[in-house]
Amino acid sequence: MNDEFRYHLARAARGRLGRRAFLGRAAALGVSGAMANTLLASAVRAQGPQRGGDLVMGLQGGESTNSLDPALALSQVPFCYLRTTGDTLVNITPDGQIEPRLAEEIEASDDAKTWRFKIRSGVEFHNGKTLTAEDCAQTLRRHSDEDSQSGALGIMRDISDIRVDGDTLVLETETANADLPYLLADYHLVIQPDGGFDDPTSGIFTGPYKWVEDEPGVRHVMEKFENHWDDSVGHFNSVEMLVINDATARNSALQSGQVQMINRVEPRVADLLSRAPGVTIQSTAGRGHYVFIMHCNTAPFDNADLRMALKLAIDREDMLDKILRGYGSLGNDMPINEAYPLFDESIEQRRYDPDEARFYYERSGHDEPIVLRTSDVAFPGAVDAAQLFQESASRAGIPIEIVREPGDGYWSEVWNVEPFSASYWSGRPVQDQMYSTAYTSNADWNDTRFFNDQFDDLITEARGELDMDRRKTLYREAGLMVRDEGGLICPMFNDFIDAHNDQVAGWESNPNGDMMNGFAAVHMWSTA
């Protein structure tokens, strides 16, 4: 590199020279666009976070029914704004480690049934109140209450006692639970004053940004909380999240500069969008999966033969190719893949088999069209995926009728309500949390209505098993039970595909969820 190029590179890294202008000058100096982009990205990271600027995000997954009550968060926009405005006791790093947050020290008894979390001192809520261990205890108590309707209720049920010892939160579990800290990173469990009992929708948390405006289904505006306890995060002056559920509109907003960042880029346009000036596609493999869910306790899906027929009637290889365009991997009708610790790769991959599907369908005795409900917001390409399912099932003699539902209200009126619908899961850090959130009989989000005492016993035993080989065997049995007996049709695991322009920097891929597991606004910074 000559001195002139270094000069332009330094100016671009500090945001004093636009990316397009920098690339033009690099080309004039004989430096290829690919090399210039690589060097610029490295230089921006080397500069480190910069304070200032305003972030505008265009996000899919927001509805007019969204609430500031963390217990009720269902979709991607609430997921992101809770990560941006709140703190949990711990976080999970991209490499799967526990990161202390509001709990600065963690201790466990030898039997993994008593856990002590020392609560960080000097933390302030957005209303000026000082955080206490009792606030943390009350938060967990509220999410343990059946009336809270909390999405974290399933993972809280094993906690038998919640108490405070000075500045320490003490949790007792019914059974040994080596994964308990991972469960407490759940985004529903952001800490609130008095646990949110006084007003769960107040929006008062301890995160790096505080609420300014809340228009559910339209826009959400937050500003920097100057008294946040951690000065290494929260670099923007403000964060605005625009709800843009239409994929084409999101892409246009990014390309026009209306927003600097979008989620849920459709695989079919990802490569094309990546060629837009100043746009970077961020694709991260992880635990997310796109699914079709059947209620096992509702006719006609209470018939095990019909469920198996539908599982065999989906051409998952074709769907992976046409819907994900290489941005994902095959699913196997269980919510676990190789991204999870203790995953058993020896479990046979289910394949499309129209003849076998026809056999089970005829044995089920069902002979009427099967109604499948879907929507553009269920997952990127969900409507096209449903049509592919319809086509592959028809070759097995199984008639599927597709009902396309509106996006607004889908997560409150269709998902977990109607007996057969399209959906998605972002996954969870450990198998116990995934199963406890959505598959055990007492899971509040058991969206397949899979109620099986033997399965519950397997998960309970695995949770307390400290021998990893034995634990892996138990999870294998549990996975096979969901795969062969449950109501989950999981054709594919998706990569998280997000995109941003060159006005922001600091992206770090995180397999725990899209938008850097919801923390994009917290960790990234402005280059403008």
DSSP state string for 248-308: HHHHHHHHHTS-SEES---HHHHHHHHTSTTEEEEEE-SS-EEEEEE-TTSTTTT-HHHHH
Domain-located, residue 72: no
Residue 70 lies in a domain: no
Query: Do residues 397 and 485 both lie within one domain?
Result: yes
- Do 368 and 314 touch, CB atoms closer than 8 A? no
Q: Look at residue 77 and tell me if it is in a domain.
A: no
Residue-wise burial string across 287-318, b where 16 or more C-beta atoms lie within 10 A, e elsewhere: bbbbbbbbbbeeebbebbebbbbbbbbbbbee
Distance CA 429, CA 427 (A): 7
| Parallel/antiparallel/unpaired status of strands 261-262 and 238-243 | unpaired
In a domain, 426, yes or no: yes
229 and 364 share one domain? no
Number of domains in the chain: 4
Which runs of consecutive H residues, i.e. helices, occur in 282-414?
304-312, 316-319, 354-364, 382-394, 410-413
Quick one: 137 and 236 in the same domain? Answer: no
Beta strand 209-215 with 159-165: parallel, antiparallel or unpaired? unpaired
Asked whether 172 and 155 are in contact (CB, 8 A), the reply is no
CATH, residue 302: 3.10.105.10
Unique residue bearing structure tokens 């500003």? 223
437: helix, coil or strand? helix
Q: Is residue 278 domain-shared with residue 296, that is, in the same domain?
A: no
User: What's the pLDDT at 514?
Assistant: 92
Q: What does the pLDDT average to over 460-478?
A: 93
Query: Which pLDDT score, from 0 to 100, does residue 155 have?
Result: 84
Is the pLDDT at 4 greater than 90? The verdict is no
In a domain, 131, yes or no: yes
Range with lowest mean pLDDT among 34-38, 81-85, 206-210, 352-356: 34-38
Q: Which residues contact 524 (CB under 8 A, 6 or more apart)?
A: 55, 235, 261, 500, 504, 505, 506, 507, 516
> 3-class DSSP state for residue 140?
helix
Whichever domain contains 176, its CATH number is: 3.90.76.10
pLDDT digits (tens, 9 = 90+) for 478-493: 999 999 999 999 999 9
Is 73 inside any structural domain? no
User: Which pLDDT score is estimated for 148?
Assistant: 84
* pLDDT reported for residue 46: 66
| 145 & 97 share domain | yes
In angstroms, the Cα distances linking 76 to 179, 324, 426 are 25, 19, 10
User: Could you tell me if 138 and 252 lie in one domain?
Assistant: no
In three-state secondary structure terms, 352 is coil
CA 492 to chain centre: 15
Sorted by sequence, the CB contacts under 8 Å of residue 7 that are 6+ apart come out as: none
**Is pLDDT of 20 > 70?**
no
- Reported as a single tens digit per residue, the pLDDT across 131-175 is 999 999 999 999 999 888 899 998 898 899 999 999 999 999 998
Question: For 470-480, b where at least 16 C-beta lie within 10 A, e where not — what string?
Answer: ebbbbbbebbb
Give the per-residue pLDDT at 313: 98
Q: Which residue range is the domain that position 275 belongs to?
A: 54-62+207-285+496-526
Q: What is the pLDDT of residues 353-373, one digit of tens each?
A: 999 999 999 999 999 999 999
CA distance 130 to 203: 16
Helix (H, G, I), strand (E, B) or coil at 478: helix
pLDDT score, position 429:
87
Amino acid letter for position 424? Y
Q: How confident is the model at residue 306 (pLDDT cuts 50, 70, 90)?
A: very high
The tokens of 167 are what? 């500045």
Given a cut of 80, is residue 40 above it in pLDDT?
A: no
State whether 342 and 476 are in the same domain.
yes
Are residues 364 and 462 both part of a single domain?
yes
Tell me which of 155, 173, 196 is where a domain ends.
Answer: 196
Q: What is the pLDDT of residue 23?
A: 72
According to the model, what pLDDT value does residue 11 have?
66
User: Residue 147: what pLDDT?
Assistant: 84
Q: What is the pLDDT of residues 124-133, one digit of tens each?
A: 999 999 999 9
Instruction: Using the 3D structure, point to which of 152, 168, 196 is the last residue of a domain.
Output: 196
363 and 478 co-located in one domain: yes
Q: Which residue has the higher pLDDT, 147 or 200?
A: 200
Residues 105 and 119: beta-carbon distance below 8 Å: no
Calculated CA dihedral for residues 312, 314, 319, 321, nearest 10 degrees: 40
Q: What is the CATH number of the domain that holds 224?
A: 3.40.190.10
* Token pair 């995109």: residue: 499
Q: pLDDT tens, 407-460?
A: 999 999 999 999 999 999 989 989 999 999 999 999 989 999 999 999 999 999
Do residues 469 and 519 share a domain?
no
504 beta partners: 526
Looking at per-residue confidence, does 341 or 459 come out higher?
459
Q: Which amino acid is at 265?
A: V
| Environment class of 53 (CB within 10 Å of its CB; exposed 0-12, middle 13-18, buried 19+) | middle
pLDDT class of 29 with cuts at 50, 70, 90: confident
Q: What is the mean pLDDT of residues 220-242?
A: 98
Look at residue 68 and tell me if it is in a domain: no
Instruction: Using DSSP, state whether 505 is helix, strand or coil.
Output: strand
Residue 69 in any domain: the answer is no
User: Looking at the predicted structure, is the pLDDT value of residue 18 above 70?
Assistant: no
Residues 241, 324 within the same domain: no
438 and 312 assigned to the same domain: yes
pLDDT tens-digit series, residues 100-117: 999 999 999 999 999 999
Kindly list the distances between the CA atom of residue 167 and the CA atoms of 119, 162, 189, 290, in Å, as whole numbers in the listed order: 6, 13, 19, 42
Q: Which of 169, 196, 223 is the last residue of a domain?
A: 196
- Residue of 24 and 514 predicted with greater confidence: 514
